């Protein structure tokens, strides 16, 4: 009995002393031979070396990536401190499975694994916005299962995380990040801000994550990466909604340069607030804050739609509205329709997809929406968009119904470019 009590005490102490490793998640750096791992502790670890151990066998973690630490305070009442640790695993071979664990001499994580992305193979991505720790468990469970079945190469969360990361002095964010560890520690989890991340000047997005460091501010708010045949760009629509003119202008200049330098056959852009979708209103989702990034403001900042059209962006995905809707290719409010809405060839403008139905405090039923002329299909089921980039001529999307235990596919779509 004494031995059992001592063991329980030791385990409890190690798990609750604030030095335990939490919230392990992977992300892409933009370098095809690297993988970034980020984790968190509740207390500082002074005079301790942080690191990731990794290798091709869980019995032989032969390589070491040194970590670095950022201490930061939640902006709530208690100004709770947290400590984010980051390490970059380098010289990785595309397609190879690696095992890894992170921590220090005081505490180590479990051993996780990942397959280094292989640009010669199709990209398979889960894309969604607006996922809550409370209302989104069905989507979290389906993403965990898809990860176990090796169906995903990357997961992209297009704003509005946890609801909200900063709630309860950041404890909601901690709970959420621990809840998604069963997929985020195995597949790169890429994020950017929605309106629910604005609190404290995007404090939690800036400090909890590690996105590609190719944006102007190097702070996770906008970034891009290339994977095989596709270039994926994430931009911050909240600069416009919050009328942050200097930041919006800097992002516009960066985006223009990023698009100009892009040589990939496919280009996909993502942000949080929708430009086109149906709603209960006759004019659709034309809220002033939402369309500012599309149309701009002559006195404050340029809009982005003309730029995306100029550089022949193929697809745009966003969230914010808590439902799913796929649109025709659209430019300047005008849809370009063709004979087969499920297979579009050589689209003259971007195809738009609203994918904000992963599960949060409220959910929209498109059955009471006034469907716009540019709408192809709207669905009310909880779920996420499944993107596959096959090669230089074909990509596909589908909508995975996470309210179904089998993850049914509800909207198969192919985009072809010759």
Domain ranges of the chain: 2-115, 123-416
SS3 labels along 144-188: HHHHHCCCCCEEEECCCEECCCCHHHHHHHHHHHHHCHHHHCCCC
Task: Note the pLDDT of residue 190.
Answer: 99
Nearest to 95 by CA among 25, 33, 26: 33
Residue whose structure tokens are 């909880």: 382
Distance separating alpha carbons of residues 255 and 189, to the nearest angstrom: 22
Nearest to 233 by CA among 261, 199, 206: 261
Task: Note the pLDDT of residue 74.
Answer: 97
Domain 123-416, CATH among 3.60.21.10, 3.30.1360.200, 3.30.1330.20, 3.40.50.1820: 3.60.21.10
Percent of the chain whose predicted confidence (pLDDT) is above 90:
88
2-115 matches 123-416 in fold: no
Tokens describing residue 86 = 């980051």
Q: What is the pLDDT of residues 28-64, one digit of tens each?
A: 999 999 999 999 999 999 989 999 999 999 999 999 9
**pTM of the complete model:** 0.95
CATH code that applies to domain 2-115: 2.60.40.380
Q: What is the pLDDT of residues 144-171, one digit of tens each?
A: 999 999 999 999 999 999 999 999 999 9
Q: What is the pLDDT of residues 260-304, one digit of tens each?
A: 999 999 999 999 999 999 998 877 787 888 889 999 999 999 999
């Amino acid at each position: 009995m004494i031995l059992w009590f001592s063991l329980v005490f030791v385990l409890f102490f190690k798990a609750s002393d604030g030095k335990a490793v939490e919230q392990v998640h992977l992300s892409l750096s933009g370098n095809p031979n690297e993988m970034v791992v980020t984790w968190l502790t509740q207390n500082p670890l002074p005079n301790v070396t942080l690191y990731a151990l990794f290798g091709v066998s869980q019995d032989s973690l032969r390589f070491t990536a040194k970590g670095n630490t950022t201490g930061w305070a939640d902006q709530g009442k208690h100004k709770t401190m947290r400590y984010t640790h980051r390490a970059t695993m380098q010289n990785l071979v595309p397609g190879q499975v690696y095992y890894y664990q992170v921590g220090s001499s005081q505490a180590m994580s479990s051993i996780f694994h990942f397959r280094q992305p292989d640009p010669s193979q199709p990209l398979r991505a889960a894309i969604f916005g607006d996922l809550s720790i409370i209302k989104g468990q069905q989507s979290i469970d389906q993403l965990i299962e898809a990860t176990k079945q090796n169906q995903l190469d990357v997961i992209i969360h297009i704003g509005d995380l946890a609801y909200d990361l900063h709630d309860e002095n950041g404890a909601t964010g901690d709970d959420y990040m621990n809840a998604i560890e069963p997929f985020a520690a195995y597949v790169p989890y890429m994020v950017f801000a929605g309106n629910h991340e604005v609190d404290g000047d995007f404090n939690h997005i800036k400090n909890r994550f590690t996105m590609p460091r190719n944006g102007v501010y190097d702070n996770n708010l906008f970034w891009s990466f290339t994977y095989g045949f596709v270039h994926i760009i994430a931009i911050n629509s909240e600069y416009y909604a919050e009328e942050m003119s200097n930041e919006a202008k800097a992002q516009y200049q960066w985006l223009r340069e990023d698009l100009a330098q892009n040589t990939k056959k496919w280009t996909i852009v993502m942000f949080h607030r929708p430009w086109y979708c149906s709603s209960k209103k006759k004019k659709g989702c034309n809220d002033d804050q939402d369309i500012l990034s599309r149309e701009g403001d002559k006195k404050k900042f340029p809009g982005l739609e003309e730029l995306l059209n100029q550089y022949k962006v193929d697809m745009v995905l966003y969230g914010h509205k808590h439902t799913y809707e796929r649109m025709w290719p659209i430019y300047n409010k005008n849809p370009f329709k063709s004979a087969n809405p499920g297979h579009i060839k050589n689209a003259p403008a971007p195809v738009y997809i609203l994918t904000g139905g992963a599960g949060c405090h409220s959910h929209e039923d498109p059955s009471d929406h006034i469907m716009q002329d540019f709408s192809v299909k709207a669905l009310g089921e909880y779920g996420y968009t499944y993107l596959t980039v096959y090669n230089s001529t074909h990509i596909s999307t589908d909508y995975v119904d996470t309210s179904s235990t089998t993850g049914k596919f509800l909207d198969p779509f192919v985009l072809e470019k010759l």
